[in-house]
Amino acid sequence: MLKEEFRDLKEHISGGIIPATANPWTPGPEYDLVTEDLHDLVEYLTDVDGVKAVIANAHTGETKMQDDETYVEVIEEHVAAAGDTPVFAGVYGESSIEAAKLAQKAKDAGADAAMLLPLDVYSHQIPQEAINHFKYVGETVDMPLINFQFPTWGSAGLPISAHVEICKLPHVIAFKEASFDPVRYDRTVRAVDHVRDDFTLMTGNDTFLKHAYHMGAETGLIGYGNLVPDLHVEKIRAVHENDMERAQEIREQMLPLTNHIFGEPEGRYRARTKAALKMQGIFQYDTILPPQQQISHEEREELRQILDDLGRLEEP
């Protein structure tokens, strides 16, 4: 059962979106964090009514590609820019010991909760290993945690039964389901229904958000939230208010951008997101960390036209 001291935060994050922020870098060979651009992005996002929190150093933030010093600096910049909006942090580390150390650094830097990124050992498909991981980090650091279902090593992820047990743990305030599989998503939502009072169900399925909200997600924790956050909020509110006609209108309005950002290969979404942020005048550079590649000139021109059609293009 959820610790009562975490319940207010669990309730607060329901009913909106939580952008997983992109990190801006100078061009190589330095690849330094551009703190002023990151500050501007966080302020831009948290100024939107319905943005419930921001999460630093998740997959969209290229978190595993940074050193620990930059990891902490990113969180501190989020805290400085977010005002009263909660700041969460992605936490990696291929052992519970390393994850707990990083979670403590995140907590010390001001993070209000930590999302534990899936470990390589999840490919073992042994539920108790994942349950033990959350127990260890929660008991060691004593901060709110977010569970995260995400495909690993060609697998759909952990057995759903593992997520049910993780969601019962006292430190777990939320569950981000991001299998990118509508059938598995539906099975997971049904499996955890009986413990829903003790955690907030989030979706990370950027490509079928309207459907995910309709099927039970209370919140969207999404890298896509860096872009058009106001439309993301309007969409989830329309679904929750059962205004499915309006929700469908917003989905159709956003569909060209959705199809571009998450076109094949989907892993390029980070490069496309940063290119869009530069075109919107939020980032000076659209640098991504190597060995990732920038998008092509053709993709860039297509993205520029899509943003122009949405009325979001600021780059001359």
Q: In this predicted structure, what is the pLDDT of residue 151?
A: 73
Query: Helices 269-279 and 244-261 meet at what angle, rounded to 10?
Result: 100
Nearest to 59 by CA among 183, 226, 232: 226
Q: Tell me: the pLDDT tens digits for 107-163?
A: 999 999 999 998 888 888 899 999 999 999 999 999 999 999 987 555 567 899 999
Taking only the tens of pLDDT, the chain with its 316 residues reads 999 999 999 999 999 999 999 999 999 999 999 999 999 999 999 999 999 999 999 999 999 999 999 999 999 999 999 999 999 999 999 999 999 999 999 999 999 999 999 888 888 889 999 999 999 999 999 999 999 998 755 556 789 999 999 999 999 999 999 999 999 999 999 999 999 999 999 999 999 999 999 999 999 999 999 999 999 999 999 999 999 999 999 999 999 999 999 999 988 999 999 999 999 999 999 999 999 999 999 999 999 999 999 999 985 5
Q: In this predicted structure, what is the pLDDT of residue 293?
A: 93
Q: In this predicted structure, what is the pLDDT of residue 315?
A: 56
Give the whole-angstrom CA distance, residue 152 versus residue 66: 20
Q: Tell me: the pLDDT tens digits for 74-104?
A: 999 999 999 999 999 999 999 999 999 999 9
pTM (two decimals): 0.96
Q: In this predicted structure, what is the pLDDT of residue 271?
A: 98
Q: Tell me the sheet residues that pair with 201.
A: 175
Q: Which domains does the chain have, with CATH numbers?
A: 4-240 (3.20.20.70)
